[in-house]
Every structure is written in structure tokens, then in C-alpha cells.
């Protein structure tokens, strides 16, 4: 849920900062708590580029190429 909301915000904003995301993030808690929560969330090792690049590439390839088609 948090990742979905974050991606939606990232797609709609031209400039992104942690403070801007915390301002726009729809959670019924204080600004500083939202900022700290987002910062902790973004620091998760599961969200590193190293961990995400292969699943994203695999998803993109499945969506754009027929498995029976030769490249």
C-alpha cells in the first residue's frame, strides 16, 4: 500500500524531495512522523536498485515480448 501510494506521488510530481513527499503523503499523522516513516521506508534494503532492477526488467520484458518470439 505504501509503495503504491509513493509511486503514484512520484509519477505526479516534477520535483521530489522527502519533505515534499511527506507533505503530499495521505496519512493521518504529523508531518515529521510522515517524513521519518518515509525516510525509513525508502532506506529498506528491499527497495535498493540492486534488489529491484531484475524484477522490474523481467516484468517489462514479459509485457513487451512474446515468449515464443525470437529476438
Inside any domain, residue 36: yes
Inside any domain, residue 9: no
What is the percent of the chain with per-residue pLDDT over 90, rounded to a whole number? 13
Over the Cα atoms of the chain, what is R_g? Answer: 16
Inside any domain, residue 49: yes
Inside any domain, residue 12: no
Inside any domain, residue 52: yes
Mean of pLDDT over the chain: 84
Judge whether 21 and 9 are in contact, CB under 8 Å.
yes
Number of domains comprising the chain: 1
pLDDT digits (tens, 9 = 90+) for 35-57: 999 899 889 898 888 888 888 88
Judge whether 33 and 20 are in contact, CB under 8 Å.
no
> pLDDT value at position 61?
86
Nearest to 39 by CA among 17, 61, 68: 17
Domain of 22, in residue numbers: 17-64
Judged against a pLDDT cut of 80, whether residue 1 lies above it is answered with no
> pLDDT value at position 35?
92
Inside any domain, residue 45: yes
pTM: 0.60
Inside any domain, residue 57: yes
Amino acid at each position: 500500500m505504501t509503495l503504491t501510494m509513493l509511486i503514484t506521488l512520484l509519477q505526479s510530481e516534477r520535483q521530489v524531495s522527502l519533505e515534499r513527499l511527506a507533505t503530499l503523503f495521505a496519512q493521518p499523522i504529523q508531518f515529521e512522523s510522515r517524513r521519518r516513516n518515509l525516510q525509513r521506508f525508502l532506506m529498506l534494503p528491499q527497495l535498493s536498485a540492486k534488489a529491484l532492477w531484475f524484477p522490474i526488467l523481467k516484468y517489462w520484458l514479459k509485457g513487451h515480448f512474446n515468449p515464443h518470439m525470437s529476438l
